[in-house]
Amino acid sequence: MHRRSLLATLAAPLSGQILFEDYNPKSTLKVPAREITRSKFPHIDIHNHQNGTMPAAQLEKLVKDMDALNMTMMVNLNGNFGEKGRAVLKNMQGAYPKRFIIFANLDFENMDAPDYAKRVADTLDQSFKDGAQGLKLFKNFGMTTRDKAGKRIPADDKRWFDVFEVCAKYKAPVLIHTADPKPFWDPWDKNNERWLELKEFPGRRRTAEKDGSWEELMQESERLFKAHPKTNFISAHLRWYGNDLASLGQQMEAMPNLYTDIAAVIAELGRQPRFANQWLTKYADRVLFGKDIWAPSEYYTYFRVLESSDEYFEYYRRRHAFWKMYGLGLNDDTLKKLYYRTALKIVPGLDRKPFPG
């Protein structure tokens, strides 16, 4: 047999095989559909990240893009502290005082110093006096924060106690990112829903030895919330319970100061439209609208999932969802709570006039 024919014969059983990450079939389903490029009601984005000292022209463009989405206010979680924090406030709120809400950040330098607890609390107090309206804690808090000996400092460590009492004093919410999706700790195999994301970003894999277990991190944050009942906590990304909303609801029942947002997890809601509708209808006064990454066209998927009853449509980032989306068809009262009423309730100093009630 000719060598080329032999190779072709040997390869024949493999014909048609493709890698999972390359499989992306185009749906042939034809059902009613509509693109929603503007939210039905004005909304507040509680979870966004911006360069707070961006040039004026870039800031003007940002506001125009917000207008197109019907976004009345945006929370910039990259508020920093000290002189850098004041620069963010001056640049964003100085130009557009009613459009931007700034959440301050903490100073993690010299955490073993005897005066650290007082120093970090005093710095945050000054940030609120300067005009910040909340505190943002990034995922490093409680997971990768380390003392001089290299030991992980948990979220409920006593050195943070005064920080959260300062937040209670100003009625300023704490938007806290705890851990990461649970599958980041699970075996990276055919059963892992985040297999593709972990293949694309191997550095996102977590271990109990290095990062603490997922369960430990969640328990530590729960103890933190319970230790400060007068402080409102917004546990970001549906607290990574988007796949188990019933459990998240139980936590909210047990902790009246626990809130959450839907930033970066709309794909979880979009695969369970009936139960997510029921759950959000019940808990919308504890859930806030947020997106996370600033990409205006991606908001269209959020609006479509929340507002429409469309079926089987694409999500924009396959590594987060290899499944299709379904619209929840939320009622107006639930949408208003999600889009702005809950934020107006827990973030101090917001102008209510742009919102319909």
4 burial via Cβ count (<10 Å: 0-12, 13-18, 19+): exposed
Q: Name every residue whose Cβ is closer than 8 Å to that of residue 254 and which is 6 or more positions away in sequence.
A: none
Q: What pLDDT score was predicted for residue 127?
A: 98
β-strands 258-261, 100-104 pairing:
unpaired
pLDDT (mean) for 186-191: 96
Angle at 296 between CA 291 and CA 300, to 5 degrees: 75
Confidence of residue 54 (pLDDT cuts 50, 70, 90): very high
Written as six digits, the tokens of 2 are: 């000719």
| 111 Cβ contact list (under 8 Å, min separation 6) | 145, 147, 153, 159
Residue 10: predicted pLDDT: 47
pLDDT(1) > 80: no
Q: Is 345 exposed, middle or buried (0-12, 13-18, 19+ CB in 10 A)?
A: middle
What pLDDT is recorded for position 94? 96
Looking only at the bridges linking them, the beta strands covering 134-137 and 100-104 are parallel
What is the chain's mean pLDDT, rounded?
95
User: Rounded to an integer, what distance in angstroms lies between the CA atom of residue 300 and that of residue 277?
Assistant: 18
The helix (H) or strand (E) run that includes residue 75 is: strand 71-76
Tokens representing residue 62 in the block: 């940002």
In this predicted structure, the answer to whether residue 268 has a pLDDT above a threshold of 50 is yes
The confidence score (pLDDT) of residue 84 equals 98
Whether the Cβ atoms of residue 289 and residue 346 lie closer than 8 Å to each other:
no
Q: Which of 181, 249, 168 is nearest to 211 (CA)?
A: 181
Mean pLDDT across 148-169: 97
Centroid of chain to Cα 340: 16
Does the pLDDT at position 4 exceed 60?
no
pLDDT of 125 above 70: yes
Structure token digits, residue 164: 């959260």
Of 6-20, 52-66, 90-104, the range with the lowest mean pLDDT is: 6-20
Give yes or no for residue 332 having a pLDDT over 60.
yes
Q: Is the pLDDT of residue 13 over 60?
A: no
Average pLDDT over residues 314-339: 95
Angle (CA) 159 258 334, round 5°: 155
- Banded model confidence at residue 328, pLDDT cuts 50, 70, 90: very high
Q: Percent of the chain at pLDDT above 90?
A: 91
Q: Is the confidence at residue 319, as pLDDT, over 70?
A: yes
* Contact (CB, 8 A) for 355 and 343: no
The predicted pLDDT at position 12 comes to 47
pTM of the model: 0.94
Q: What angle do CA 327, 240, 296 make, to 5 degrees?
A: 50
**Hey, how many other C-beta atoms are within 10 angstroms of the C-beta on 283?**
20
Going by pLDDT thresholds of 50, 70 and 90, the confidence category of residue 295 is very high
- Neighbouring C-alpha atoms within 13 Å toward the C-beta of 144: 10
The pLDDT assigned to 193 comes to 95
pLDDT-based confidence at residue 20 (cuts at 50, 70, 90): confident
Structure tokens at 173: 């919410």
Average pLDDT over residues 123-128: 98
CA distance 218 to 225: 11
10 Å CB burial of residue 271 (0-12, 13-18, 19+) is middle
Question: For 170-187, how does the pLDDT look when each residue is reduced to its tens digit (9 = 90+)?
Answer: 999 999 999 999 999 999
**pLDDT tens-digit map of 198-240:** 999 999 999 999 999 999 999 999 999 999 999 999 999 999 9
Look-up: residue for tokens 């970090």? 120
Arithmetic mean of pLDDT, 146-152: 95
CB 36 within 8 A of CB 303: yes
- Structure-block tokens of residue 103: 């959440």
- What letters, b where the CB count within 10 A reaches 16 and e where it falls short, cover 126-148? bbbebbbbbbbbbbebbbebeee
Q: In what order do the strands lie in the sheet with 100-104?
A: 43-48, 71-76, 100-104, 134-137, 174-176, 233-235, 258-261, 287-288
User: Are β-strands 287-288 and 174-176 bridged in parallel, bridged antiparallel, or unpaired?
Assistant: unpaired
Domains of the chain: 42-296+329-346 (3.20.20.140)
What's the pLDDT score for residue 121?
98
